[in-house]
């Protein structure tokens, strides 16, 4: 049985793959189990940087 998701994160997690989006957040722990693409600019660097 899947783990329940926080109320505010579940709608975001459901919307992201349907619309081809990426979640940009420092709260990776709540989104990674959902299997959605996640980007953390605080640890992974800003988009477009080498």
Q: What is the pLDDT of residues 1-50, one digit of tens each?
A: 566 767 888 899 999 999 999 999 998 999 999 999 999 998 877 655 54
Give the Cα separation of 31 and 34 in Å (integer): 5
Residue 50: the pLDDT is 44
Domain ranges of the chain: 9-42
pLDDT at 8: 87
Q: Tokens 């081809």 sit at which residue?
A: 20
| pTM over the 0.95 mark | no
What pLDDT, on the 0 to 100 scale, is given for residue 45? 72
What is the predicted pLDDT for the residue at 1?
Answer: 56
Q: How far apart are CA 26 and CA 35, in angstroms?
A: 16
What pLDDT is stored for residue 22 in this prediction? 95
């Amino acid at each position: 049985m899947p783990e329940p998701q926080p109320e505010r994160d579940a709608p975001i997690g459901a919307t992201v793959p349907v619309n081809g989006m990426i979640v940009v957040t420092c709260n990776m722990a709540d989104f990674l189990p959902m299997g959605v693409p996640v980007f953390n600019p605080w640890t992974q660097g800003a988009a477009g940087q080498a």
